[in-house]
Structure 1
Amino acid sequence: MIRKLMAAGLLLCSFMASAQTLIEANMAWLTQHQEKVEVSLSSAEEENFLPALNTVILVWEHRDGALTAEISPYILKAMIAEPELTLAALFNSPASFNRWLSQLQGQVFMAVTPEQVVQLNDLKKALEVSLASYIIKPDSQFDEQAKRLLEQVQASSVYMVD
């Protein structure tokens, strides 16, 4: 019995370590292929939209505070291109979605350079338009989540840290 418990514990520890390694590997890949991922997420018609979204969501689900700021612009770009699919992926983890909503102002719309201020303002405006268009569709499955996100985005402003 003790051997079985030890084996199960060892298996669990190795699984958790490999899961963390996978997340780290995905984040490293996203960082190295930033331009490619942004192009892939720019349109739902892009061949690699779904693989890019899946990678982003995997990192997002297991993010820590520092990763929120790094991963969120990808999510916002996917949301602009394909709100239904992106909201479905995000809402698979409702607690994580709610936590992310509460972090939008502090971590998502924070710029380090003047160029980022412009980029984030453009991203914010495009997201507002996309969400507003999505909400008025009669068959939108995640309109309540989209409304909450839109309210948070509209209440947020882009700011630059020194």
Structure 2
Amino acid sequence: MQRNVLGVFGLSMCLGMFGAAFSTQVAGAVLENVHTIELFVSAKTKVVELEQNQYPKIKQVIYVVDGLDVIEYQLNQKLKNVNNEIDAQKLMQPYFANQDFVTSLQKAHLAKVRAKHFKLKRLPAAVINGEQIHYGMTDLNVLMQSIEDNQ
């Protein structure tokens, strides 16, 4: 009997209240009008983050949009031979008691929420300052060079 792990525990119970986006600050010379880059990718996408010495005040946030699907698939593999709710809960309890696991669920859920907020049509997608959407780039340094060249 196959189970859906999020049905067992309820996504809202797992996520609770989650804070602001998980971001990385980088260091270097900055473009005055670019403050935030949010990059939306799939789990298997290779990402090249900003060079720390070139863009010191630009906040970059990498969202793995299908991260929740990956986590759910992995947990469902563990549950596929479980026949009742009590055994499923016993098997999953250590995962949901682990703060790193819960944090990964929160990040994965936030990625989906943010992608939906921007109404992204495809991946990869970079959102600059919450306004401009650029599709197709996963190297943030190349993206920044493209923005600089177009100014």
Bigger relative contact order, structure 1 or 2 (CA pairs below 8 A, ≥6 apart): 2
The structure carrying a bigger helix percent of its residues is 1
TM-score w.r.t. the length of structure 1 is 0.23
The structure carrying a bigger strand percent of its residues is 2
TM-score w.r.t. the length of structure 2 is 0.24
